[in-house]
Amino acid sequence: MSTRPPQVIPPEGLAHQAAEWMAKSLQSALATKPRASLALSGGSTPGPAYRELSRLTLPWERVDLYFVDERFVPPDHPDSNYHMVEETLVGPLRLSPSQVFRMEGEREDRDDAARDYESRLPATLDVVLLGMGEDGHTASLFPGHPALEEKSRRVLSLVGPKPPPWRMTLTMPVLLSAHAVLMLVAGGGKRDVAKRALAGDLALPAARVSNAQWMLDTAAAGR
């Protein structure tokens, strides 16, 4: 559970507010270092925020993109988080491939793919955008899954309860060590689980990201 009060935004303004938050957080990081890292989630809620972010003026040549999680599918697959980010952010900004550190979901050896990604991660991520599912999962950390309790590994391959089942995900230590984390939640279907998470129900993975700033639309907030 975050100790900071959640921000509640009208649905039509949520994507823009999230983009402004990411831009401000990146600018803060870039004020003290030559490069900044931004880790991105998949899903229907973050996509519009990435489109809004692509329209904002930033020194993008100094920003490196990482991924919070990925399905084990090829990068051009409709279920690929990279595919969505390429369409909404990487393509519009024409970012250099050297700036985009994607999780290689096409790899056959899933654990080797996770270990390789672990070796590519910076020691600490500057900015992380997370979403939350209706079951309270965040990244690909699901309620009751052993991966939720991982303490040493930074990236894991795992089987989740939703198709496609095989996924790669950052672990909780990585999320908790990040400098700035935004939990972006939209839709009335998430109202009850958002209420539980904000009340500190640690059975929900999203509630365990105690360093996150929550931003909800009015439907998710139950207003």
DSSP characters over 20-42: HHHHHHHHHHHTTSS-EEEEE--
Cβ atoms of 141 and 205 within 8 Å: the answer is yes
- Among candidates 155, 149, 163, 104, which has minimal Cα distance to 125? 155
Average per-residue pLDDT for the chain: 96
Report which DSSP code applies to 33: S
Prediction pTM value = 0.95
Distance, in Å, from the CA atom of 103 to the CA atom of 67, rounded to the nearest integer, reads: 7
Instruction: Give the pLDDT confidence score for residue 2 in this predicted structure.
Output: 63
pLDDT tens figures, 89-120:
999 999 999 999 999 999 999 999 999 999 99
Amino acid at 196: R
pLDDT tens figures, 152-206:
999 999 998 878 889 999 999 999 999 999 999 999 999 999 999 999 999 999 9
Which residues are CB-contacts of 88 (< 8 A; sequence separation ≥ 6)?
A: 47, 48, 50, 51, 54
List beta partners, residue 210. Answer: none
Provide the percentage of residues in the chain whose pLDDT is more than 90: 94
Length of the chain: 223
46-54 vs 11-30: helix crossing angle, rounded to 10: 60
Confidence of residue 3 (pLDDT cuts 50, 70, 90): low
pLDDT tens figures, 22-79:
999 999 999 999 999 999 999 889 999 999 999 999 999 999 999 999 999 999 999 9
Tokens of 115: 């270990």
SS3 180: strand
Tokens of 194: 């958002």
